[in-house]
Amino acid sequence: MRELGQIPELEVSPMPEGVMSSWYALTATYRPDQLGGLPLDRFHAALVAEGATEFDRPGCTRPLNQLPLYRHPSPLFPAYPSTRSRYREGDFPVAEKAHADTIKLPVWHREQDLKLAEQYVSAARKVSEHHKELL
Protein backbone atom coordinates (compact mmCIF):
# COMPACT_ATOMS: atom_id res chain seq x y z
CA MET A 1 0.00 0.00 0.00
CA ARG A 2 2.79 2.39 0.86
CA GLU A 3 4.47 1.93 -2.54
CA LEU A 4 1.22 2.36 -4.43
CA GLY A 5 0.57 5.59 -2.57
CA GLN A 6 3.89 6.97 -3.82
CA ILE A 7 2.55 7.05 -7.38
CA PRO A 8 1.35 10.68 -7.72
CA GLU A 9 -1.92 9.98 -9.51
CA LEU A 10 -3.09 7.33 -7.03
CA GLU A 11 -4.17 8.57 -3.63
CA VAL A 12 -4.49 5.69 -1.20
CA SER A 13 -6.29 6.43 2.06
CA PRO A 14 -3.83 6.03 4.93
CA MET A 15 -4.44 3.27 7.44
CA PRO A 16 -4.21 4.59 11.01
CA GLU A 17 -1.55 3.03 13.23
CA GLY A 18 -2.77 -0.14 14.91
CA VAL A 19 -5.82 -0.54 12.65
CA MET A 20 -6.27 -3.71 10.62
CA SER A 21 -8.17 -3.42 7.35
CA SER A 22 -11.34 -5.42 6.82
CA TRP A 23 -11.75 -4.27 3.24
CA TYR A 24 -12.25 -6.73 0.43
CA ALA A 25 -10.42 -4.34 -1.88
CA LEU A 26 -7.77 -1.66 -1.71
CA THR A 27 -9.21 1.49 -3.22
CA ALA A 28 -7.33 4.46 -4.56
CA THR A 29 -8.56 7.80 -5.81
CA TYR A 30 -7.28 8.55 -9.30
CA ARG A 31 -5.96 12.10 -9.81
CA PRO A 32 -5.98 12.83 -13.57
CA ASP A 33 -4.45 16.28 -12.99
CA GLN A 34 -1.21 14.50 -12.06
CA LEU A 35 -1.06 12.96 -15.56
CA GLY A 36 -2.01 15.88 -17.77
CA GLY A 37 -5.73 15.07 -17.59
CA LEU A 38 -5.41 11.44 -18.73
CA PRO A 39 -8.91 9.93 -18.29
CA LEU A 40 -9.21 7.10 -15.79
CA ASP A 41 -10.55 4.75 -18.47
CA ARG A 42 -7.34 5.16 -20.51
CA PHE A 43 -5.16 4.82 -17.41
CA HIS A 44 -7.02 1.64 -16.46
CA ALA A 45 -6.78 0.21 -19.99
CA ALA A 46 -3.01 0.82 -19.94
CA LEU A 47 -2.69 -1.02 -16.61
CA VAL A 48 -4.60 -3.98 -18.03
CA ALA A 49 -2.39 -3.91 -21.16
CA GLU A 50 0.61 -4.19 -18.83
CA GLY A 51 -0.88 -7.40 -17.43
CA ALA A 52 -2.22 -5.79 -14.26
CA THR A 53 -5.67 -7.21 -14.94
CA GLU A 54 -6.89 -7.14 -11.35
CA PHE A 55 -6.89 -3.35 -11.28
CA ASP A 56 -10.61 -2.79 -11.47
CA ARG A 57 -13.22 -0.08 -11.72
CA PRO A 58 -15.94 -0.58 -9.11
CA GLY A 59 -19.18 -1.71 -10.70
CA CYS A 60 -21.73 -2.98 -8.23
CA THR A 61 -20.15 -0.97 -5.41
CA ARG A 62 -21.51 2.27 -6.72
CA PRO A 63 -23.84 4.91 -5.26
CA LEU A 64 -27.31 3.40 -4.92
CA ASN A 65 -28.90 6.12 -7.05
CA GLN A 66 -26.98 4.71 -10.03
CA LEU A 67 -28.38 1.19 -9.68
CA PRO A 68 -31.45 0.31 -11.78
CA LEU A 69 -33.34 -1.10 -8.79
CA TYR A 70 -33.31 2.29 -7.06
CA ARG A 71 -34.05 4.26 -10.20
CA HIS A 72 -36.85 2.08 -11.56
CA PRO A 73 -38.11 -0.31 -8.86
CA SER A 74 -41.49 -1.07 -10.50
CA PRO A 75 -40.39 -4.06 -12.64
CA LEU A 76 -39.23 -5.92 -9.54
CA PHE A 77 -41.73 -4.37 -7.11
CA PRO A 78 -44.97 -3.70 -9.06
CA ALA A 79 -46.80 -2.57 -5.90
CA TYR A 80 -44.21 0.13 -5.24
CA PRO A 81 -46.09 3.44 -5.25
CA SER A 82 -45.45 5.29 -8.49
CA THR A 83 -45.82 8.60 -6.66
CA ARG A 84 -42.84 7.91 -4.46
CA SER A 85 -39.71 9.79 -5.50
CA ARG A 86 -37.01 7.81 -7.25
CA TYR A 87 -33.31 8.40 -7.18
CA ARG A 88 -31.72 10.10 -10.16
CA GLU A 89 -28.24 10.68 -11.49
CA GLY A 90 -26.83 13.73 -9.72
CA ASP A 91 -28.73 13.22 -6.45
CA PHE A 92 -25.49 12.45 -4.60
CA PRO A 93 -22.71 14.36 -6.41
CA VAL A 94 -19.98 13.72 -3.83
CA ALA A 95 -20.55 9.95 -3.81
CA GLU A 96 -20.86 9.88 -7.61
CA LYS A 97 -17.56 11.77 -8.04
CA ALA A 98 -15.82 9.49 -5.54
CA HIS A 99 -17.05 6.44 -7.45
CA ALA A 100 -16.06 7.88 -10.83
CA ASP A 101 -12.49 8.50 -9.60
CA THR A 102 -11.97 5.15 -7.84
CA ILE A 103 -9.80 2.27 -8.96
CA LYS A 104 -9.32 -0.83 -6.83
CA LEU A 105 -7.19 -3.89 -6.27
CA PRO A 106 -7.77 -7.09 -4.33
CA VAL A 107 -6.33 -7.13 -0.83
CA TRP A 108 -3.52 -9.64 -1.10
CA HIS A 109 -2.64 -10.89 2.34
CA ARG A 110 -0.33 -13.88 2.02
CA GLU A 111 3.44 -13.73 1.99
CA GLN A 112 3.50 -15.37 -1.45
CA ASP A 113 1.34 -12.50 -2.79
CA LEU A 114 4.09 -9.94 -2.16
CA LYS A 115 5.76 -10.51 -5.53
CA LEU A 116 2.43 -10.10 -7.34
CA ALA A 117 1.69 -6.88 -5.46
CA GLU A 118 5.13 -5.56 -6.44
CA GLN A 119 4.39 -6.35 -10.10
CA TYR A 120 1.19 -4.32 -9.89
CA VAL A 121 3.03 -1.36 -8.39
CA SER A 122 5.62 -1.65 -11.19
CA ALA A 123 2.87 -1.65 -13.82
CA ALA A 124 1.31 1.47 -12.29
CA ARG A 125 4.70 3.21 -12.20
CA LYS A 126 5.33 2.32 -15.84
CA VAL A 127 1.97 3.68 -16.98
CA SER A 128 2.57 6.80 -14.90
CA GLU A 129 6.02 7.38 -16.38
CA HIS A 130 4.75 6.89 -19.96
CA HIS A 131 1.40 8.65 -19.60
CA LYS A 132 2.19 11.29 -22.25
CA GLU A 133 2.08 8.53 -24.87
CA LEU A 134 -1.54 7.91 -23.87
CA LEU A 135 -2.75 11.51 -24.14
Q: Is 86 left (phi over 0), alpha (psi -120 to 50) or beta?
A: beta
Number of Cβ within 10 Å of residue 9's Cβ equals 21
Domain made up of 4-12+24-134: CATH architecture? Alpha-Beta Complex (3.90)
pLDDT at 94: 94
Stated pTM of the model: 0.82
What angle do the packed helices 40-49 and 114-129 form, to 10 degrees?
A: 130
* Cβ atoms of residues 129 and 83 within 8 Å: no
Q: Which residues of the chain have pLDDT under 50?
A: none
Q: Where are the domains of the chain?
A: 4-12+24-134
Per-residue pLDDT, 75: 83
Residue type, 26: L
Residue 135 pLDDT:
93
Predicted local confidence at residue 59, as pLDDT? 82
pLDDT of residue 7: 93
Q: What is residue 132's predicted lDDT score, i.e. its pLDDT?
A: 95
